[in-house]
């Protein structure tokens, strides 16, 4: 079974400052990793994912995450946040291959302060 730990439930950050949202996972098999974002009153939507290949993955709106197998981490970073990034961010993991359920972390609320 897999598990995900998001270490921060809330992260306040000033606009244009950098941010890192931390995610650690636990698994005995190889995994796929995801970050989803949930804007207020909406469902979740995929931000970025790691399936294989380059350990650094990027989203279209400036976020990036790096898969670190030795540290079992998949932290999400952005060098300069905008007000519009205010949302809840969920890290998720699933075992690779076959029909596998996805396990979500508890979420991190990013609050961007003007």
Partner 1 sequence: DSGVTQTPKHLITATGQRVTLRCSPRSGDLSVYWYQQSLDQGLQFLIQYYNGEERAKGNILERFSAQQFPDLHSELNLSSLELGDSALYFCASSGAGSGYEQYFGPGTRLTVT
Q: Which residues lie near partner 1 (CB under 8 A)?
A: 32, 34, 36, 42-46, 49, 51, 90, 94, 99-107
Best CA proximity match to 102, nearest among 37, 36, 54, 47: 36
Q: Are 94 and 103 in contact (CB under 8 A)?
A: yes
Tokens of 52: 């294989």
Nearer to partner 1, 11 or 44 (CB): 44
**Nearest distance, CB of residue 39 and partner 1, angstroms:** 11
Nearer to partner 1, 5 or 86 (CB): 5
CA-atom Rg of the chain in angstroms:
14
**Nearest distance, CB of residue 29 and partner 1, angstroms:** 15
| Dist CA 62 CA 99 (whole Å) | 31
**Nearest distance, CB of residue 52 and partner 1, angstroms:** 11
| Dist CA 102 CA 113 (whole Å) | 32
Nearer to partner 1, 32 or 74 (CB): 32
Tokens of 94: 């699933």
**Nearest distance, CB of residue 38 and partner 1, angstroms:** 8
Nearer to partner 1, 15 or 64 (CB): 64
């Amino acid at each position: 079974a897999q598990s995900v730990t998001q270490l921060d439930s809330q992260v306040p950050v000033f606009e244009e400052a950098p941010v890192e949202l931390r995610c650690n996972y636990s698994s005995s098999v190889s995994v796929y990793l995801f970050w989803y974002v949930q804007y207020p009153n909406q469902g979740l939507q995929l931000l970025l994912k790691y399936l294989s290949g380059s350990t650094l993955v990027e989203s279209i709106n400036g976020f990036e995450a790096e898969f670190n197998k030795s540290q079992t981490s998949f932290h999400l970073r952005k060098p300069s946040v905008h007000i519009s990034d205010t949302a809840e961010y969920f890290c998720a993991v699933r075992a690779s291959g076959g029909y596998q359920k996805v396990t979500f972390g508890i979420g991190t609320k990013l609050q961007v302060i003007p």
